Structure 1
Amino acid sequence: MISPEEILRKASRKYPDVLRDYVDCGDAPSLLFPLRMPCDLRLSEDLATQIAEVDRLRSGAKERRGFGYSVGWRRVNSPMRGKNHIPARVEFETRSDLLRLIGKQREFARFATGVDSLRLKLPEVLPWVRHRAQTYLKVCEETAGLIEVVSYLREHPRPDRFARELPLSVDTKFIERNQPTLRRWLDLCLPPEAVDETEEDFALRFGLRRKGTLVLVRMLDDALVAEAGLPCRELALPLSAVESLQVRPRCVVIVENEVSLLTLPPCPGVMALGGLGHAVTILKAVRWLNDVSLIYWGDIDPPGFVMLSNLRRSFPHVRSLLMDASTLDEWGQALSEPKPFAANSIISNLYQEELATHDRCVAEAFWIEQERFPSPEVARAVAAMVEEIGEPRGSQGGCQ
């Protein structure tokens, strides 16, 4: 027969359901309670053991303790044991009975207070809270501040101000500290025109100012250095300065890794940008990149293909370098390292061969970091692709 300790464990596992039930019902009659617990209530064959088990079950029940589980009894008449009451069901009559038994009254009260505020002021986020109730538990005491931030950005979309200078009552690091939650809530609450869905960066996504990102610029041709009026071949520039450069190279190579960019070989008419990692999408602000041929070189791994996909949202004509199946076949055995990756639920803007290579990386759990390629191979690949830049855009096949 089930023991009070086992009932406590079962009740604790029901806590997430209790949280979701409150999101659904609030102070209205619960859809969950009374909550019957599936239990093994079979009696032992030995009479003494049977009596001890029933007494133990009764001792932990609400009828003795004033809270917790209730036992429903069934009267039986046995020729051997006479008239007795045996347990027929175990249930929690109210939410309070369960919460008190598992020691979650105070935590639940904080959760309920937050949900009540959201129900009144931001009902749009309640489905998120219901689906991620235990995640919300970790931030529920911040609900008032979260509501204030979302309400401000709903009334003043894309304010072009630093998060710390918004006229809010929360502390200056509140938005930074709560970005994961705010990201989800703002996506749910703001109008579509207030959210740049192509941006993963929080500030850029919601129109906040951010510390300027420096873009590493390297001219692979001395003639371009003179044309741009630069003091040297390589330097880091603010994004706005890159946009203002008075130079139009034959081709721009965008490189994920800084060292890989700095070691690119000389190449006539070619300029290199990068060292940005996942922030590569900020280059969409450099409008003249739409008018030159673009090459992207990243790691052969799922994150590398995600960066390529994100970049291609802004520049559909960008080609990938050393990120195809033939490169994987030729260099995979010598250069790859095993590393498991989860498949991306959504990945688009890849050519068929790129998508197949991405899928192989996931299936075979390996990657090739771009800096592992020998310099002669990189020089050969860059030169070969630059020679092909006169071909029509999209000649690699349709995007998936």
Structure 2
Amino acid sequence: MITAQEIRNKTDKKYISFLQSLVEQRPFEKLVIRGDKSYTKSSLPEFEKEIQQIVSQSKEKKGFGYTLEFQLVKTKFLASQNLPISIYFDTEKDFLKFLDKEKEVELFKSDVEKITNVFPELKEWIIKNPLRVITNQTEWDNILKVCQYFKKNPKPNLYIRELPIKIHTKFIEKNKGVIRELLDILLTEQINSDSKEFEKRFHLKFSEPLIRFKILDKEISQKYFSGIDDVAIPVSQFESLNLPIKRVLVVENKTTLYTTLTLPKMDETIAIFGSGFSVYNLKGAQWLINVELFYWGDIDVQGFEILSQFRSYFPQTQSMLMDKTTFEKFFENDSGTPTNVSTKLNLTDGEQQLYEVLKINNWRLEQEKIPLYWINELVN
């Protein structure tokens, strides 16, 4: 036999489909809660208590809620007893008052009307996401203002906080999720579907990541940057960089970037701070295809995984100081970070063999721990 709590749980589960029926303008139909019509327990006091709990929450006792129909049923241990064979909600009011959702549904109806009056094409989204309408119940006026602006200006080319919309300056940033879902429907033809980032997807300006690099050729530093050798510029500017560079060294860690300035003069060379897996910010710099390219990372599983990632952008990439000899000479029994990567990496045979050793033993040699004299020997 079903319990009072099970009736509540099953009724809760009917709520979403009820909301959907409102949007589809389907009339309320008797809502049946299915339950077990048998009873297998042997305690009469327990049976009477469960029946009392079910009846106490019914329309008969409270004036609203579910209606119960009983039938005399022969049980396994308690002879014949009156069991509820049918549980149902007769009216919308009974259903909503039982769930204490009357006010919420009134607001939902109002919001649905508000949304569909402005954008009828959002009706299907509402049917699929009725709880999203309720979650954003206090925000729909402003959400619709944003959508109306983008509908008229599908390619604003402004920063989010520059948009001439009468809303709080942080409103769009706080509500990107729902706004994106709606704009994807409203601006199907105008969105940049290749990008998942909100600003890029909807043609907004955004704060770009900076690429930091050090110029290891003093002549280039003097001629193009007034002697400045430590530079950070937006990705888009880095992608269009035009310098007489023939060799590029990408390093994983910031400390190692400083170390590169202590190296002997390196003609036509720059060192880039890759910042771990953020090397993906470099993939659009097509001029890197035409230079001699080196990657220097930690000798651990992540270091080789980053190398593999970077090599997928620029196949000519060579690893630097990420070899077995260097590892065995300077390893100090440091532990690394375990990895869940199981796909084949884009590594040479020697790199792959070292990677497997590091992975099995969870070992790490950070690039900062390699002495300068060893680095200089390699460069020279």
Fold shared by both chains (TM-score > 0.5): yes
Map of 1:8 onto structure 2: 8
CA distance in 2, matches of 1:92, 1:323: 73
Moved more, 91-100 or 226-235: 91-100
Q: How many residues align?
A: 368
TM-score, length of structure 2 as denominator length = 0.69
Verify the 8 A CA contact 1:22 1:30 in the aligned structure 2.
no
1:235–1:84 distance in 2 versus 1, CA, 3 Å:
closer
Q: Between Structure 1 and Structure 2, whose CA radius of gyration is higher?
A: 2
Identity %: 24
TM-score, length of structure 1 as denominator length = 0.67
Map of 1:374 onto structure 2: 369
- Stretches of structure 1 that go unaligned for 5 or more consecutive residues are 388-400
1:240–1:5 distance in 2 versus 1, CA, 3 Å:
closer
CA distance in 2, matches of 1:123, 1:203: 25
CA distance in 2, matches of 1:378, 1:140: 65
Verify the 8 A CA contact 1:228 1:246 in the aligned structure 2.
no
Moved more, 42-51 or 56-65: 42-51
| Deviation of 1:207 (Å) | 2.0
Map of 2:291 onto structure 1: 292
Map of 2:269 onto structure 1: 270
Map of 1:202 onto structure 2: 198
1:75–1:175 distance in 2 versus 1, CA, 3 Å:
same
> Per the alignment, in what secondary structure is the counterpart of residue 39 of structure 2?
coil
- One-letter identity of the residue aligned with 1:177: K
CA distance in 1, matches of 2:26, 2:16: 14
Map of 1:215 onto structure 2: 211
1:184–1:42 distance in 2 versus 1, CA, 3 Å:
same
Choose from 139, 142, 147 the match for 2:136: 139
CA distance in 2, matches of 1:34, 1:71: 12
CA RMSD of aligned residues (A): 5.2
1:292–1:105 distance in 2 versus 1, CA, 3 Å:
farther
Say yes or no: does 1:38 pair with 2:45. Answer: no
| Deviation of 1:167 (Å) | 1.9
Alpha-carbon deviations, 1:216-235, whole Å to 9, x = none?
12123334323534423213
Map of 1:148 onto structure 2: 145
Map of 1:337 onto structure 2: 336
- Stretches of structure 2 that go unaligned for 5 or more consecutive residues are none
Verify the 8 A CA contact 2:331 2:364 in the aligned structure 1.
no
Alpha-carbon deviations, 1:163-183, whole Å to 9, x = none?
112122222111111123334
Q: Kindly report which structure 2 residues correspond to 1:1-400, keeping only aligned pairs within 5 A, or say none.
A: 1-12=1-12, 14=13, 18-23=15-20, 26-29=23-26, 34-39=31-36, 42=39, 45=42, 50-75=47-72, 85-94=82-91, 96-119=93-116, 121=118, 137-191=134-188, 194-195=191-192, 197-198=194-195, 200-211=196-207, 213-239=209-235, 242=238, 245-255=241-251, 257-264=253-260, 266=263, 267-274=266-273, 283=282, 288-295=287-294, 315-317=313-315, 319=317, 321=319, 334-338=333-337, 351=346, 374-376=369-371
1:60–1:31 distance in 2 versus 1, CA, 3 Å:
closer
